[in-house]
Each structure stands twice: as structure tokens, then as C-alpha cells.
Amino acid sequence: MERLKEAYRAMVLARRFDAQAMALAKQGRIAAYPSSLGQEACQISVAFALRPTDWLFPTYRDGNALLTRGIDPLDVLVPVRGYQHCGYDPYVHRCAPMATPLATQALHGAGLATAARCRGEDTVALVLLGDGATSEGDFHEALTFAGVFRAPVVFVIQNNQFAISVPRARQSAAPTLAHKGIGYGIAAEQADGNDVLAVLAVLDEAVAQAREGGGPRLVELHTYRMGPHTSTDDPGRYREAALTESWRRRDPIDRLAAYLRRHGGLDDAAQAGLDLDADALAATVRAGVATPPVVAPTEVIDHVYAAPPRSLAEQRAALVAELAASDVAERGTR
């Protein structure tokens, strides 16, 4: 029950974070934002299922998984805030940068998990994917490699029914995406992605058996992207409102709230306290976005190589001179 109360809290905070980011995107304060509204049970559960020593390989829609993993909300938003491509240190949080090219990070997860096993560690890698990503070649190659090398990696598909506008049926003739595991010799299962108890049970088991040497696992979580693909998308062009309404009745937070209230894990006072915490989180995000960091313009050059080759060093010197001439150097980019 305590874990479910924590999960509920994480889901409430996640939803508020997502709503705040979406609002900032609509105000033009941050770049196009990919909402994960409705997928909170999946997002928080992957963080709950992993140990601090494990690794998470998220996509661009998995900010709430990162938030739950303990990454500062303003750092999670750094790519859409526009200062860097990744706002956190992957080694500190054991989270790879959010992957935008689909399924590419699945191979990185398989490789890192294998590397950890080679070093005698019991680290598990968990790779997040969407339904559309399962059509990509890298998904196929990642499952191929993970299967052959028995990598301790768990591939988690958040099947939210749409890849931008294209429905799940157009991605594969397979009866379920979990079926894809069969072809790679990888155990696969599916769960109701809007039922946090089911998601936690399936992920706990998958992570545990990967850790114990049972090889990779594929998990398909059936969920639904309640919002648009990003803040610039218009779902009205490609899906029926009735479908979205039918999923609204399966809302993961409402379902867990009902369960908790029935079993004495949640009351009005606790909910009010949670709502205050969520408001505080949103306020932190708003204030942080309104206070941009100072980023040296030379950062666009400095991280490309461990040390810039001479030709790039010349371009850096030219940039510095250009900045000095326009007196921008002291102020940085705001």
C-alpha cells in the first residue's frame, strides 16, 4: 500500500508537470512539447521498477519517467527550453539522453546492459519505446542483439495507439506488439498500461529476471496518448473524440485513486496535500522557465570533440571575436 501511495503521488505530480509544460509550450515559452498525458502509470512505473544502479533509455515523450527517476524538472525540460540537447548528466542519474530518432536507443540499452554484465555487475537497462518505434529497423536489430547476447535489458513499449497520426493497426499486422518478441526468442508479455498495479507487477518481474540472468524481456503496455503528439499537433484531424473519451474512462490516476480510497490509502486531506505539492512543482517550473540560464555561445563548439581540432578552434576564435565585437560575450545568450 505504501508503494501504491508513492506511485499515486508520483502520478499526480507527473500529470501536473506535463500540464504545466504543455501550457508553457502553448504560450511559446518553450519549444514544441510532447505530452504524455494519460500515460502516467507507465512513466512512473519504469522509474519505480529500477534500482539507482540500473539504466534508463528514454524517448522524448518520457519526461515524467525522468522526473520520477529524480531528475530536476527544469533539467528534464532543457531540450524544449532550448539551451542544450540534454539537461542532465547521464552518469549521475543513469539515464541516457532522451532519444528523438526512434528505436535507436534500444541498441544502446542492449549494448550497455551487455557491457555491465561483462563487468560482472547486476545492472539492468530499461529501454522505453513507442508503438511506432517497433516498425523501425533498429528495434528489430536491438531485439536481435539482446536475444543473441542474452543482455539484461527490458524493452518497454508504451503502445499509446498512435504514432503521431498513424494508428497502431498501420504499424504491424502482428496481433499484439508483444508478439514481436517471439521472432527474436525473447519472452514477451503485455499489460494494461493504465493500471499501475499491473504495470508494476509486470515490470518488477521483467527487471528481476533480467537481473538474475534470464535474458532480455519485451513488455507491451496498452495505454493511450490523451493529448496531441506535441503542442503543435491537431489530433482532431485523425482520431475520433469518442475514442479518446472511451480512454478517459480508463484514466490511470482516477483508477488508482478509486482503489486507494476504497482501501484507506487516500482521503480528501491527503489529496489536498498532494494538489498543493503539484501546484508548488508547477510554480517551480514556471519560475525556472522564466529565469533562463546563461549559456556560453562557445558551448556549441566546445563539446563536439574532447578537444577541438585546429580548424574548429579557429572557428571558435572567430566566434569569440564576433561576440566581443558585438559586446554579447559578457551577457551570454538569454
Partner 1 sequence: MTRTQPLTTTQPVTMAQALNRALRDAMAADERVLMFGEDVGALGGVFRITDGLAAQFGPQRCFDTPLAEAGIVGFAVGMAMYGFRPVIEMQFDAFAYPAFEQVFSHVAKMGSRTAGRVRLPMVLRVPTGGGIGAVEHHADSGEAYYAHTAGLKVLTPSTPADAYHLLRAAIEDPDPVVVLEPKKLYWARGPLDAPAQPAGLGGAVVRRPGRDVTVVTYGVTVPLALEAADLAQAQDIDLEVVDLRALVPFDDETLVASVRRTGRCVVVHEAQGFAGMGAEIAARLQERCFHSLAAPVLRVTGLDVPYPAPRLEHHHRPDVARILQAIGRLQWDDQPDVHHLGGFPPSTPAPSSAAPMPDTRASVPAPAAPLMAPTPEPAARTDPPVTVGVSAVAR
* 84, 135, 172, 333: which one binds partner 1 (CB under 8 A): 84
Give the integer Cα–Cα distance in Å for 147 and 184: 6
Q: Which is nearer to partner 1, 97 or 288 (CB)?
A: 97
Least Å distance between CB 332 and partner 1? 15
Q: Which segment (135-143, 169-177, 205-213, 256-264) binds partner 1 by CB under 8 A?
A: 135-143
**For partner 1, what does the binding mask look like between residues 6 and 35, x meaning CB under 8 A?**
------------------------------
For residue 250, what is its C-alpha cell?
Answer: 480508463
Residue positions annotated with a catalytic role: 225, 229, 238
* Distance, C-alpha 136 to centroid of its chain: 18
* 306, 326, 327, 330: which one binds partner 1 (CB under 8 A): 306
Give the integer Cα–Cα distance in Å for 313 and 300: 12
Which runs of E-coded beta strand occur in the chain?
55-57, 125-130, 153-159, 162-163, 166-167, 187-192, 217-222
Give the integer Cα–Cα distance in Å for 188 and 159: 14
Q: Which segment (164-172, 197-205, 276-284, 306-314) binds partner 1 by CB under 8 A?
A: 306-314
CB 7 within 8 A of CB 194: no
**For partner 1, what does the binding mask look like between residues 104 and 123, x meaning CB under 8 A?**
x-xxxxxxxxxxx-xx----
For residue 175, what is its C-alpha cell?
Answer: 496481433
Helices (H), 85-150: 90-93, 104-118, 137-148
* 204, 212, 254, 299: which one binds partner 1 (CB under 8 A): 299
Q: With CB under 8 A as the rule, give the number of residues binding partner 1.
A: 43
Residues at the interface with partner 1 (CB under 8 A): 84-86, 89-91, 96-97, 101, 104, 106-116, 118-119, 125, 137-138, 140-142, 144-145, 148, 299-300, 302-306, 309-312
